[in-house]
Amino acid sequence: MKSVTFIRLALTILLPISAVLSAEFPDAAQPQLATTNDGHVWLTFGRGPEIFVARSDDRGMTFSHPIRVAALPSLMLGRRRGPRLAAYGEKITLTVMAGELFAFHSKDGGRKWRGPTPINDVPRSAREGLHALTIAPDGRLFTTWLDLRGERTQLFSSDSTDAGATWSPNQLVYRAPNGQTVCECCHPSAQFSARGELVVMWRNGLEGARDMWSAVRPAGADKFGASTKLGEGTWMLKACPMDGGAVFTNGDRFASVWQRSGDIFFNEPGEPEKRIASGAQPVAITTTNRTAVVWQQGADLWVSTPRADSPPRLFKNQGRFASIITINGSDDILVAFEHGSAVVVDRL
């Protein structure tokens, strides 16, 4: 397809690492990154009603001219309402919200795309526009979203075994008891472990408490177990913070980061929660030797390695809505984020 933008390369000084190449995509929003075991990296973002994907064959040092996948008049962007991306070999899957939840898929490394394929099987039930997409070690896909097919916001999901060409009937992940609701506008997150367990995390709204909860689907199972509250504190709030945090994994061990009352917390099962700093919109990743958390503090992006007890450091001035990946499980970390009216990809 015809390219409609360009890549600008620049040397950027970052903390705590030195100068690296970065890619900048003008007039873009809500970036998401994905990678495969061979080190290829993909980036998706939105621009108005259009969705783009760019590919890197050198571990994120440079990117191809973005391919325009589609234009959807009702494409939802902003506050984590952007596209999601998953990659498995040359099979690439893109999910987007545009009144409904749709999937696009490519079997040739993102050169040609097919779709849109609808995922939610009750029309308009996904109209809140917040969802997550994750991929298992064997290439199976899972997506979950805030669903409005009942009187209250619930969490529904669907699976795909063919790179997003078809999707399973929708399944309920969680419904709040006694007529209560899941937090109405905080994005959910999901992650597979190395052995195929699946965890979903969301912000709940029980009795006015906007706390984080999670549920696990064992490897090989088709249903989730009981839901569990995360962390030790409680956030009583008569509003939605529009901040769903992130769940991630180190092999078979899940961990999570989230905001509570303006502070960022890091949590691992069986361990006490750990306050990192003030801020919002955290994302995190675990590599071979470290865990990195990136979050917004004011108008800037900050970074910390909570397992090493390192103090927070400035990562990028004027950054927001970060996406983070590690390449081949190494210490090589890429972060994509909004910077002004552009999307930027930098190394951490």
Q: What is the pLDDT of residues 208-242, one digit of tens each?
A: 999 999 999 999 999 999 999 999 999 999 999 99
For the chain, the C-alpha Rg in angstroms (whole number) is: 19
Instruction: For residues 20 and 93, give the distance between their C-alpha atoms in angstroms, rounded to a whole number.
Output: 29
Between these two residues, 330 and 235, which has the higher pLDDT value?
A: 235
What per-residue confidence (pLDDT) applies to 221? Answer: 95
**Domain count of the chain?**
1
CA dist 172 and 192 (Å) reads 18
Confidence band, pLDDT 50/70/90 cuts, at residue 22: low
Q: How confident is residue 20, by pLDDT bands cut at 50, 70 and 90?
A: very low
Tell me, yes or no, whether 32 lies in a domain: no
CATH label of the domain that carries residue 134: 2.120.10.10
* Residue type, position 281, single letter: Q
**Any domain includes 333:** no
| Residue 215 neighbours by CB under 8 Å, 6+ apart | 173, 174, 199, 200, 224, 225, 226, 227, 228
- Ramachandran region, residue 308 (left: φ > 0; alpha: ψ -120 to 50; beta: rest): alpha
The distance between the two most distant Cα atoms of the chain, rounded to a whole number of Å, is: 55
Which of 347, 339, 348 has the alpha carbon at shortest distance from 24? 339
Residue 279 counted as domain residue: yes
For 297-313, what is each residue's pLDDT tens digit? 999 999 999 888 788 99
pLDDT above 60 for 256: yes
% of the chain with per-residue pLDDT over 70: 94
Q: In what helix (H) or strand (E) does residue 222 lie, and over which residues does it extend?
A: none
In degrees and rounded to multiples of 5, residue 135 shows phi and psi of: -130, 140
Write out the residue range of the structural domain in which residue 305 sits. Answer: 83-324
Backbone angles phi, psi at 300, to 5 degrees: -120, 165
Q: 3-state DSSP call for residue 308?
A: helix
Instruction: Give the C-alpha distances (Å, rounded to integers) separating 266 from 24, 232, 271.
Output: 30, 11, 10
- Residue 298 has a CB neighbour count (10 Å cut-off) of 11
Q: Is 31 among the domain residues? A: no
Assess if residue 224 is contained within a domain.
Answer: yes
In a domain, 109, yes or no: yes
Residue 309 CB coordination number (10 Å): 8
Residue by residue, what is the 3-state secondary structure of 196-214?
CCEEEEEEECECCECCEEE
Residue 332 lies in a domain: no
**Domain-embedded: residue 237:** yes
Burial (CB count <10 Å: 0-12, 13-18, 19+), residue 179: exposed
pLDDT at 173 over 90: yes
Q: What's the distance, Cα to Cα, between the start and end of the chain in Å?
A: 31
Average pLDDT over residues 172-191: 96
**Sign of the CA dihedral running 260, 148, 34, 87:** positive
pLDDT the model gives residue 11: 26
- DSSP reduced 3-state for 230: coil
Q: Considering the entire predicted model, what is its pTM?
A: 0.92
- pLDDT tens column, 149-171: 988 999 999 999 999 999 999 99
Residue 281 has pLDDT above 80, yes or no: yes
Residue 116: phi and psi, rounded to 5, are: -85, 145
pLDDT at 8: 27
